Structure 1
Amino acid sequence: MKANVGTLDRGLRIVGGLTLIALAATGQVGVWGWIGVVPVLTGVFRFCPAYPLIGMNTCARKDL
C-alpha cells in the first residue's frame, strides 16, 4: 500500500473520527457515530482505498 493521505488530510481524519467515536460512546449521537473508526484507520495507515478509485492523492511525498 502506497501512502495517499497527506498530513493535513490525515490530521483531519483522525480528529474527526475520534470526535465521532467519542460522541457515539457518550450517547450524543446514534450508533452511526461508530463509523468514525473508518477515518481514524485511514488516517493512521495513511491510505484511503477510495482515493485510487477516483484518482486522488493528498500525500505530497511520492516515495512513501
Structure 2
Amino acid sequence: MSKFERVLRVIIGILVIVGVWYFYASWWALIGLVPLITGLIGFCPLYRVLGKQSCPFKKK
C-alpha cells in the first residue's frame, strides 16, 4: 500500500468515526475502524484476495 493511500485511509477512518458518532451517536461509527486499521498497519486483506498491488516494489 502506498504512503499516500495509507494516510488517506487513516484520515477517512477518523472522519467516518467522528462524523457518524457526532451526528448519529451510533455503533455504526465502528465501520471507520476498517480503513483506520488497514491504513495504520499498511495491509488490506481484500487487496490480497483481489491480487491488487497499489505500491510498486523495486525489482532487483
Instruction: Provide TM-score, normalisation by structure 2.
Output: 0.79
Per the TM alignment, residue 61 of structure 1 is displaced from its structure 2 partner at its CA by 3.7
1:21 aligns with 2:17: yes
Aligned residues: 58
The answer for the alignment partner of 1:50 in structure 2 is 46
Per the TM alignment, residue 23 of structure 1 is displaced from its structure 2 partner at its CA by 1.1
**Structure 2 gaps, min length 5:** none
Moved over 6 A (4+): none
Structure with the larger helix share: 2
**Structure 1 gaps, min length 5:** none
Q: Which has the higher contact order (CA 8 A, sep 6+)?
A: 1
